[in-house]
Amino acid sequence: MAEGIGGKVKGGSNPLYSRSLLSIKELDRPKIDLILREAEAMHKIFETGRKLSLLKDKAMATLFYEPSTRTKLTFQRAMIALGGDEIGDPSMDTSSAAKGENLADTARVVSSFSDVIVLRHYDNGAAEIASRFSAVPVINAGNGSGEHPTQALLDLLTIKNEKRRIEGMKVAIVGDLRYGRAVHSLAYTLGMFDNDLVFIAPEELQLPKEICDYLELNGRNVERTGSLDNALDADVVYIPRIQKERFMDPKEYNRFLGMYRIDRNFMKRANPEIIVMSHGPRLDEISPEIDDLNNMVFFKQVKYGVAVRMAVLNMILGKRMLSK
């Protein structure tokens, strides 16, 4: 069984080495600061196009039971940039899972010939199950409507680089806050930093109460509202799509589709220094008419994602950190 992340950062040690990353809640502020420093070092290397050999002879297995472009490909690109190999089916529909193999057996089998498993699954408890039966570390790349820890880390790196700070801001998160696993991880992460947080959604899609309670317990100023106008004075607005696949009733999904939209009209009224973020894919929540604005950093997030995933993979599998 691969262990989760534990302990404190002491004397420059690596708290991720040989451990799984299942939830952002496994990380405290010092661990996140360390990951971001490593990701910034990786980003500089990646921008030069230079390939590293830090993970030479290491193999990453990708098990994606749900569709993905950004997460899967950036993990693959990260492993290649570190000198390692990637193995995995283009779709789990062509794997033994289609024949009825359970996740525990898949984890046992795949971990016998890989060094790390990157898992995306439609079930909230999947990452924990896989880590229980895997002989190698497991990275949660999205579990149902639960969490998506590396997405939160890349979002934080994006904010840090684009705003030159992580604290002392107003961050507005808009849309599907009930089912959005990336939103859940980001909210927990932002709770470790001193920012004002506004969650904008209809009551049916608002952030789960346990996350709001966590934020308030950590002294964060939290506002819950249904009006997008409350994001006009924000420093960051984060607006993911409404996730059709999480709704049992298509009529309920259609009722919320298109409720919030960032467009030229919003940007004309908004804080001129605001940045617009999302985890994608984009539907109609961000208008293409703002793509040419410097405020739009949605596409920049992808490169930061490669850097963060390089950092996480190297810290879990490698013996040398670039940021030391």
pLDDT digits (tens, 9 = 90+) for 207-254: 999 999 999 998 999 999 999 999 999 999 999 887 777 777 777 767
Helix axes 29-48, 149-163, angle to 10 degrees: 70
* CB 117, CB 134: distance < 8 Å: yes
Q: What pLDDT does 99 receive?
A: 66
Please check the confidence at residue 12 and state whether its pLDDT lies above 70: no
How many Å apart are CA 59 and CA 252, to the nearest integer?
A: 42
Q: What average pLDDT does this structure show over 53-75?
A: 95
Query: What token pair was written down for 207?
Result: 């952030």
Domains 24-146+303-317 and 149-302 share a fold: yes
Per the model's pLDDT, the better-predicted residue between 57 and 90 turns out to be 57
Question: Any catalytic annotation for residue 148?
Answer: yes
Query: What token pair was written down for 141?
Result: 């790349």
Question: Any catalytic annotation for residue 70?
Answer: yes
Give the torsion sign (CA, 23, 27, 29, 35).
negative
The catalytic position among 43, 58, 72, 120 is 120
Q: What pLDDT does 89 receive?
A: 72
Average predicted confidence (pLDDT) for the chain: 91
Question: For the domain 149-302, what is the CATH code?
Answer: 3.40.50.1370
How many Å apart are CA 255 and CA 247, to the nearest integer?
A: 11
Find tokens 């939103």 and name the residue. Answer: 183
Residue 85: φ, ψ to 5°: -115, 155
Q: What average pLDDT does this structure show over 64-88?
A: 94
CATH code 3.60.21.10 for 24-146+303-317: no
* CB 25, CB 38: distance < 8 Å: no
Q: What average pLDDT does this structure show over 153-161?
A: 97
The catalytic position among 10, 99, 251, 319 is 99
The catalytic position among 58, 121, 148, 220 is 148
Question: Any catalytic annotation for residue 279?
Answer: no
The catalytic position among 62, 71, 150, 158 is 71
Question: Any catalytic annotation for residue 71?
Answer: yes
Please check the confidence at residue 7 and state whether its pLDDT lies above 50: no
Q: In which band, very low, low, confident or very high, does the pLDDT at 11 lie, cut at 50, 70 and 90? A: very low
Residue 4: which of 112, 147, 217, 178 has the closest Cα?
147
Residue spans of the domains in the chain: they are 24-146+303-317, 149-302
Query: For residue 139, what is the enclosing H or E element?
Result: strand 138-143
Q: In which band, very low, low, confident or very high, does the pLDDT at 293 lie, cut at 50, 70 and 90? A: very high
Q: In which band, very low, low, confident or very high, does the pLDDT at 274 lie, cut at 50, 70 and 90? A: very high
Q: In which band, very low, low, confident or very high, does the pLDDT at 90 lie, cut at 50, 70 and 90? A: low
Please check the confidence at residue 316 and state whether its pLDDT lies above 60: yes
Question: Any catalytic annotation for residue 99?
Answer: yes
3-state class percentages of the chain: helix first, strand second, coil last, to nearest 5: 40, 15, 45
Q: What average pLDDT does this structure show over 45-54?
A: 92
* CB 324, CB 17: distance < 8 Å: no
